[in-house]
Every structure is written in structure tokens, then in C-alpha cells.
Amino acid sequence: MDLDECWALIESERAHVNSWDDMDWEFGEAMIERLAALPPADIVVFQHYFDGLQFQVSSDRVWKAAWLIQRGCGDDSFSRFRAGLVGLGREWYERIVADVDALADHPAVQGVAAGTVDENALMMETFEFGAFEAYERATGIEDGLWAARDDYTPAEAHPWTEPAETGWHLPRLEALFPQNARDFDRHRARMTTTG
């Protein structure tokens, strides 16, 4: 399995989900079933790539985007949000890596701003831990992917780049969520002074 195959797997299951209602559950469960049918070694490789994809969207700007969309963002919700960005599929993911403010164009984010989509729609906990569940189903080893992932040595060089930090300003998302942007500025000011 390589990165292209990982994306193809995500895209194939993502294509069957037509609503943001219960997106995490439907998509996450479909991914677990697909992954559990693979050889365990492929599940480990999938998780390797998934970890790298999440790493690339771990910048402060992505955290601010999550904060604006969800009206706040802690460590766990940020991890689930980053899983959700991977779950959007390759095209959207690559747009977000290039500029997280592109999320302002995504229909789910626009729906959150309009009040027609739940603000937590991009938080995908089931998908985030799907490979762990799939590995357990495939092998019968509870929590087995943790050790298998640690023991895995990639066949090729790590393709991930450190997320670029290019300032906090996200003009398009701030315009979509003006009250949340004001709350974020107050929150950040408090964190800076209590530091």
C-alpha cells in the first residue's frame, strides 16, 4: 500500500456518504470495515500515512480554523478536526495544506456558518481511530496497532513537511464566523497575558 492507495481507499468510502449528519459515524464505520478486510501489514501502512497527513495539518493556523468553525478547540477536538480534514478527501486536503483559509469555500463549513450543519461536523473521532479498531478486528489483538505502528519501518523516506506558520490571520473564515473571530481574539489575548 502506498499513499495513492490510501487516498483511493478514503475517497471510495467517502463517496458513499451524502450528508454531514452522522458523517463521522457512517464514514468511520465504512473505513473500519474496509481496513479490517486488508492484511494487517497494510493497516499499519495506512496508519503510517494517516499519521503523516494529520501532522501536515497541525499548524497554529489550522488550530485557529478549528476554533472558528467549532467555537473553541481543545487538544482532543483538534486531533479529531485534523482527522476530519483528511476525511474530506485528497483534493480538499491539499487545498487546505496550501492555505487553510480555503476551508471557507467548503460546503460543510459554509453550512456551519449558515446554521444548517452542526459545528462539529468535521470532527471525525471514529475515522481517527478506525485503523486501530480495524487492526483489532483483523488480528484479534486488542490495541495491537500501537505496537505494530511503533515497530514499522517505512520503505521510503518520510514525505511529510513541517507545517508552515504564516501568521494567525484567516480573513475568509473570520468573515464567515465574525463572532467566533472576536471570541478567539479575546481568548488568545487572555492566554498571552496568563501565558
Give the pLDDT score at 23. Answer: 86
pTM exceeds 0.75: yes
Number of separate helices (H) and strands (E) present in the chain: 12, 0
Q: Among 145, 135, 155, 178, which Cα is nearest to 33's?
A: 135
- The 3-state secondary structure of 1-63 reads CCHHHHHHHHHHHHCCCCCCCCHHHHHHHHHHHHHHCCCHHHHHHHHHHHHHHHHHCCCHHHH
Give the pLDDT score at 156. Answer: 76
Give the pLDDT score at 194. Answer: 67
Give the pLDDT score at 22. Answer: 78
pLDDT block averages, 10 residues each, the chain of length 195: 95 89 90 98 96 93 96 95 96 95 97 95 96 98 95 81 77 97 87 68
- Cell numbers representing residue 161 in the block: 513537511
Residue extents of the structural domains in the chain: 3-152+162-194
